[in-house]
Structure 1
Amino acid sequence: MSVDQLGRLDKDILVDGEWSGAEDRTDVRHPYRNTVVGSVPVVEKARVVGAIDAAAAAVETSTLSAYDRYELLSTAADRVESRLEELAQIVTSEEGKPITEARNEVDRTAQTLRLSAEEAKRQFGEFVPMDPQKGTPRDHCFTQREPLGVVAAITPFNFPIMLMAHKVGPALAAGNAVVGKPATDTPLSSIALFECLDEAAEEVGAPDGLINVVTGSGSTVGDAFLEHDAVEAISFTGSTAVGKHLANNSGMKELTLELGGNDPTIVWHDTDLEWAAEQVVGGACSNAGQVCNSVERVLVAEEIEAEFVAALVDAVADVSVGDPHDAATDIGAMVNDDEFESTVDLFEETVEQGATVEYGGRYGGDLGDRVFEPTVLSDVTPEMPAATQEVFGPVIPVIPVTDFEAAIEEANNTEYGLEAGLFTQDIDRAKRAADRIDAGGVNINTVSGYRTDHMPYGGFKDSGMGKEGIKYATEHFSREKLVGFHEGTNA
């Protein structure tokens, strides 16, 4: 299916088993072509509350077994795979990422649902002996996992269908009901995912209200999630500012917060520089740099800085910019004017403070309204904006360091702590980095942006709290109960 065959997509919301619209709607625009792709409802708070009420009722009435939940998620994965090209074209149309990346995202969405399906069958407890404590008989006690209830899932624009699957899949696997809220810029592919889930839910006989999705103002929907007692958990991926607001106002709700990053990748002299440069460019330019764990700072041993910068320039010269629906395109448009302009401002301020443009530096104009050319910067110091702020665009700042101790210190010189990368062939150096870099993940001989969908993923400091990754998210969306059998009477 081509983008032209899609036509205009006017999607609705799903509440209590019914798809419905609203009088007020908002357009979804193509970031590269600047055309209207479709529209979604802008719902009022009462509709969100209705979705939460429906979800709470569904949890109470659901009799789905672990195998039923496995079937639901497996069937939804089948539906996603059967619509792969259509869904990929939707992702590219609303988010601007190259079609090859969009196809990979949809494929990973199906894999995430399948991994979640398997996890539904693995909600194990354990035997807990009582007699290790002095004077206690050998009573039989065990633990069991139970769902929390209603899980609210709030997702960002940059991986609009995959990140929703990362929240909804584990939540359903654990036996919860869900209410999803996709990003306003990119709601269409998320709603399409819920179409697949809704069909699968009907097929396995799930109660209405188990799966819901609403669209509208982030503050309206978010406040409803915070205020409703039936919402037991909120899983949010987005900005640190919004994440802190949720943390400060969530009371006793369980939170998973996947927030911003300023992720370092260290390149040391004992590695293949051309190979490392290719990975750094890929890690910095994927999705036009709009990835929270993308390569945002490159820390290089000063004796190889010039050589590595030259390798980066060679690698980035092969990156193509253009229409994201063209399979030959590596970088399309950024999602909206705000993201584009913030990248422009950060780049310009960094150059004004003395950084050197080794490659790129063009944006807008003939390239496209929201297109930023992949850019390599040298002579970057730790105080410059490209080093201190989250770089959410295809800008690669190279920062020289005097020794490995300085590299680790600079890697930690940030309020964030999401992921880090290190290229080295020295096992002792790798172990030092693994132990001392203050981040949720340290990746040896690859970039900070490395992620598989089953691994534990989540940062420290202002990068968030909790972990995604199917097993870890499913555990977070459930609670552990101790059941004890003690000696009774014979009466």
Structure 2
Amino acid sequence: MFVDGEWTGAESGETFDVTSPATGEVIAKVPKGGKKDAEKAIKAAEKAQEKLAEKTTKEKERLWRVTIEKLEPNLEDYAKEMSLEQGKPITEAKEEVYEVADNILWAVEDVKHLETEVLNGYLQPDRKYIVQREPLGVVGIITPWNYPMVMPAEFIPHAILCGNSVVYKPASNTPIGGIRFIEGMVEAIEELDFPKEIINIVTGPGSEVGSEISSNPSVGGICLVGEVTTGQKIVESAGLKKVTLELGGNDPLIVMDDADLEKAANDTVYGCCGNAGQVCCANERILVHEDIHDEFVDMVVEKTKNVKLGDPLDEDTGIGPMNNEDTLQKVEKHVEDAKEKGANILCGCKRASGFPTDLYYEPGVIGDVTTDMLLNKEETFGPVAPIITFSSKEEALEIANNQPYGLSSAVHTTNLDNAMYFSDKIQAGNVIVNGPVLTWDLLHPWSGMKKSGIGATGGKWSVEAFTTIKEIQLPWKQ
């Protein structure tokens, strides 16, 4: 942990093991922080924020450019650590660690190009109203276990560039990537003489560390990526703090009868198997028009069989182990429920033998899925492609929207009218036309509807998430 300007253990002296889902070996022992550690971090961050506020945007830009310099020599090693810690294939881990710099540099440009409004008075025409954005103060950032290094890179740079100090809690399953990110930042802070306390990382259980971050009155804002149940607890404890939440989804990919089936099949397999399906914007439900059902499903089954399950450190591995037993048991529960209700396993969908752990799960396709099955009703979060058949776009829309979630979605069609129909009517924060649901970029708003989130991040929307508005009135003679 890095708390109050120094690397330290937990006040209790306790640690917890980080166990590799790939090998079953303990790869790190990490301080098991608690409420008191979080309190200490928040107090330090509060004091440092006043000093950070005195820094110019140019100085903060320099901090992040030097952070990139500190991280870059070690990215290949970080990728190997990530594969062992999280389970994702080394090819995906490399993509993630190399995307860290992109996120940082984009955040820098977002803040450098921040624009606010100057308004002419209406009821008071002799005044001008100047709108400016100011930091929230201390910001708590809580990230999940599926993207250990790029998640902190998506949020911490924006928060600090906007003038906030940060208390950061990574997921206990995968804290190493976040620790490495903070190590690079701390080296840059020391080189540039920034107050060290502007960044704090507290590892430990969410029930203690996360709860204290969300409820502490000295914290001005919370940014969480996680499960819906966790988000609900954060909202309950945060009170009137500014809260930005990106939560779970049960995202549909719709394949119309006029779709490019080759591309749709490729996008289906990618969006179901990427990161072993452990992504909030994975293809959770595959809705297929009845007229092209058989041809399309055959293509998806064949492509899924070609995804190599194996050692995540092998360059030719397409999918590694799932990260943890709880998530895998949920996948198995959903698959068993579907089988009991009449669905057919077309390939995969079972644990694989002959690997160091029993977290290796064969990616699969399930046919004859109906809307009463858990695969349709809940987020599965695994490498499974449940096929649901529809006969009209109206029926597809009804299936897509009949959910408490609304994070993301996709539709494959070559018909512009169909594309616009779904774009207008799907109840989701994102609609991707002719791509996988598993899609994002650095500059667009990432948000959810219904139970899938509050607020938005990404590009300038992250600046809005980490700031508040102040209005200044000036007398002005016309």
TM-score by length of 1: 0.94
Post-superposition shift, 1:201? 1.8
- Structure 2 counterparts to residues 254-265 of structure 1, below 5 A: 254-265=242-253
Post-superposition shift, 1:361? 2.5
Amino acid across the alignment from 2:102: Q
Match of 1:432 among 421, 441, 448: 421
Q: Give CA deviations for 1:133-165 in whole Å, capped at 9, x if unaligned.
A: 3xx233233111111101101011001111111
Amino acid across the alignment from 1:14: F
Give the whole-Å Cα distance in 1 for the aligned partners of 2:65 and 2:37.
Answer: 29
Give the whole-Å Cα distance in 2 for the aligned partners of 1:170 and 1:463.
Answer: 22
Query: Corresponding residue for 1:401?
Result: 390
Query: Corresponding residue for 2:401?
Result: 412
In the alignment of these two chains, the number of paired residues is 473
Amino acid across the alignment from 2:39: V
Give the whole-Å Cα distance in 1 for the aligned partners of 2:260 and 2:192.
Answer: 52
CA contact (8 A) 1:340 1:371 kept: no
Amino acid across the alignment from 1:407: A
Post-superposition shift, 1:226? 2.5
Give the whole-Å Cα distance in 2 for the aligned partners of 1:486 and 1:409.
Answer: 55
Of 182-191 and 356-365, more deviation after overlay is shown by: 356-365
Give the whole-Å Cα distance in 2 for the aligned partners of 1:46 and 1:296.
Answer: 39
Partner SS, residue 419 of structure 1: coil
Q: Give CA deviations for 1:451-474 in whole Å, capped at 9, x if unaligned.
A: 112221121111111112132111
Match of 1:93 among 76, 84, 105: 84
Q: Give CA deviations for 1:45-76 in whole Å, capped at 9, x if unaligned.
A: 11110100010001112221111111112222
Query: Corresponding residue for 1:164?
Result: 152
Q: Give CA deviations for 1:153-205 in whole Å, capped at 9, x if unaligned.
A: 10110011111111211101211100110000100110000001111222332
CA contact (8 A) 2:220 2:242 kept: yes
Give the whole-Å Cα distance in 2 for the aligned partners of 1:58 and 1:121.
Answer: 22
Partner SS, residue 244 of structure 2: strand
Of 356-365 and 299-308, more deviation after overlay is shown by: 356-365
- 1:284 paired with 2:272, answer yes
Match of 2:366 among 377, 381, 390: 377
Partner SS, residue 88 of structure 2: coil
CA contact (8 A) 2:146 2:278 kept: yes
Partner SS, residue 397 of structure 1: strand
- 1:295 paired with 2:283, answer yes
- 1:272 paired with 2:260, answer yes
Match of 1:472 among 446, 449, 461: 461
Partner SS, residue 376 of structure 1: strand
Unaligned 5+ segments in structure 2 are none
CA contact (8 A) 1:112 1:166 kept: yes
Give the whole-Å Cα distance in 1 for the aligned partners of 2:468 and 2:215.
Answer: 21
Query: Corresponding residue for 1:107?
Result: 98
CA contact (8 A) 1:77 1:111 kept: no
CA contact (8 A) 1:30 1:37 kept: yes
- 1:53 paired with 2:43, answer yes
Q: Percent identical across equivalent pairs?
A: 38
Q: Give CA deviations for 1:28-57 in whole Å, capped at 9, x if unaligned.
A: 011011001111101231111010001000
Query: Corresponding residue for 2:55?
Result: 64
Runs of 4+ in 1 over 6 A off after TM superposition: none
Give the whole-Å Cα distance in 1 for the aligned partners of 2:377 and 2:129.
Answer: 52
Post-superposition shift, 1:230? 1.3
- 1:190 paired with 2:190, answer no
CA contact (8 A) 1:351 1:357 kept: yes
Give the whole-Å Cα distance in 1 for the aligned partners of 2:188 and 2:215.
Answer: 30
CA contact (8 A) 1:108 1:453 kept: no
Match of 1:176 among 164, 176, 184: 164
CA contact (8 A) 1:152 1:179 kept: yes
Match of 1:350 among 338, 362, 376: 338
Post-superposition shift, 1:487? 5.9
Give the whole-Å Cα distance in 2 for the aligned partners of 1:128 and 1:204.
Answer: 38
Give the whole-Å Cα distance in 2 for the aligned partners of 1:359 and 1:46.
Answer: 50
1:46–1:276 CA distance, 2 compared to 1 (3 A): same
Give the whole-Å Cα distance in 1 for the aligned partners of 2:300 and 2:70.
Answer: 41
Amino acid across the alignment from 1:464: G
Query: Corresponding residue for 1:17?
Result: 5
- 1:330 paired with 2:318, answer yes
CA contact (8 A) 2:126 2:476 kept: no
Give the whole-Å Cα distance in 2 for the aligned partners of 1:318 and 1:47.
Answer: 47
CA contact (8 A) 1:69 1:120 kept: no
Give the whole-Å Cα distance in 1 for the aligned partners of 2:85 and 2:313.
Answer: 11
- 1:446 paired with 2:435, answer yes
Give the whole-Å Cα distance in 1 for the aligned partners of 2:291 and 2:239.
Answer: 51
TM-score by length of 2: 0.97
Of 165-174 and 148-157, more deviation after overlay is shown by: 165-174
Give the whole-Å Cα distance in 2 for the aligned partners of 1:415 and 1:103.
Answer: 34
CA contact (8 A) 2:285 2:386 kept: yes
Give the whole-Å Cα distance in 2 for the aligned partners of 1:245 and 1:228.
Answer: 14
Amino acid across the alignment from 2:294: A
- 1:41 paired with 2:31, answer yes
Give the whole-Å Cα distance in 2 for the aligned partners of 1:325 and 1:125.
Answer: 47
CA contact (8 A) 1:147 1:477 kept: yes
Give the whole-Å Cα distance in 1 for the aligned partners of 2:450 and 2:125.
Answer: 44
Query: Corresponding residue for 2:470?
Result: 481
Match of 2:411 among 419, 422, 428: 422
CA contact (8 A) 1:37 1:94 kept: yes
Query: Corresponding residue for 1:319?
Result: 307
Q: Give CA deviations for 1:351-406 in whole Å, capped at 9, x if unaligned.
A: 12111111112214335410111100111111111111101110100000010110
CA contact (8 A) 2:367 2:386 kept: yes
Partner SS, residue 366 of structure 1: coil
Of 353-362 and 288-297, more deviation after overlay is shown by: 353-362
Give the whole-Å Cα distance in 2 for the aligned partners of 1:122 and 1:327.
Answer: 40
Give the whole-Å Cα distance in 2 for the aligned partners of 1:273 and 1:354.
Answer: 26
Give the whole-Å Cα distance in 1 for the aligned partners of 2:254 and 2:106.
Answer: 32
- 1:461 paired with 2:455, answer no
1:487–1:384 CA distance, 2 compared to 1 (3 A): closer
CA contact (8 A) 1:184 1:217 kept: yes
Partner SS, residue 317 of structure 2: coil
Give the whole-Å Cα distance in 2 for the aligned partners of 1:212 and 1:237.
Answer: 18
CA contact (8 A) 2:223 2:245 kept: yes
